[in-house]
Amino acid sequence: MTLNDNWGFHAGDANWKSPNDIIKMLAKASQGRGNLLLNIGPDGEGRIPLPTIRIVEAVGGWLEAHQECIYGTDFWTLDPYVRGEHRGDWCPHGPFTVKGNILYLIATSPPAGNFALSGLNCEVREVTVVGGPDVKFRQTGARVEFEHDGALALKEGLPRVLRIGCDRPPAIYKTGGMRVPKSDHPRYDPVSADILW
C-alpha cells in the first residue's frame, strides 16, 4: 500500500494517509493473519519526506504500545465467501482482532459515551483499555454494555484499544438485526453474485 497516492516519490502528492488509516489497514491485515507492506518514497537525494517520517513514527509508537492486538492474532472474518469459521462481525467504532480468548476493539471511531456490543457468543470476564484503566461492563445474554467514561477517546489522534477477556474464543454474530429464535440464518447475503469479475 502507498502512504499517499503514488508508488515512489512525487513532489506534488500531498494526499497522505493518516496514522489512523494505517492502523485500520494493520488491523485488516491482522484479521486475516497477513502482513502490511507500506511503501514510502525517498526523493532524488535519498531523503524521506517529513510527512512520511511523522506518520511512520506515530504508527510505530502506537504499534509498540498496542502490539498485542496486531501481532500473532487469530483468523477473524465476516466474509461469507471465505471458507472456514466465520467468527467476525462489524462495529461502527472500529475493527476487531482476536487472540485466544481475548477480543480487541481498535477504536478508530470511538463512541462519544457508553455503548453496547450485541451478538457476542461468550461470557465476558474482564474489560480493560490497553495501557489504561479497567472498564465497567454489564452482560445480558449476547449483549454487553460498556461504561468507559471517555477512556476510549482518541489519544493524540490515535485509537485506544479495548481488551475484552472472554471465557472462550469469542465470536460475534449480529444476524444483520434479523435474529429469530430457533432459526438458522445465513451470514448476510447467501446469494452468489450475478456478475463475476
| Residue % of the chain over a pLDDT of 90 | 65
CB neighbours (10 Å) of residue 196? 5
Q: Rounded CA gap, 6 and 43, in Å?
A: 12
- Cβ atoms within 10 A of the Cβ of 147, count? 13
Among residues 9, 4, 16, which one has the least CA distance to residue 45? 9
What is the model's pLDDT at position 173?
A: 77
Q: Which of 150, 113, 110 is nearest to 132 (CA)?
A: 150
pLDDT value for 52: 95
Residue position matching grid coordinates 480487541:
104
In the prediction, which pLDDT does 138 show? 97
Give the pLDDT of residue 13: 94
Q: For 4-13, how does the pLDDT look when each residue is reduced to its tens digit (9 = 90+)?
A: 999 989 999 9
Q: Print pLDDT tens along the chain (197 aa).
A: 999 999 989 999 999 999 999 999 999 999 988 899 999 889 999 999 999 999 999 999 999 999 999 999 998 876 655 555 667 777 889 999 999 999 999 999 999 889 999 889 899 999 999 999 999 999 999 999 999 888 899 988 999 999 999 999 998 876 554 444 555 555 555 555 555 44
**CATH numbers and ranges of domains, the chain:** 96-177 (2.60.40.1180)
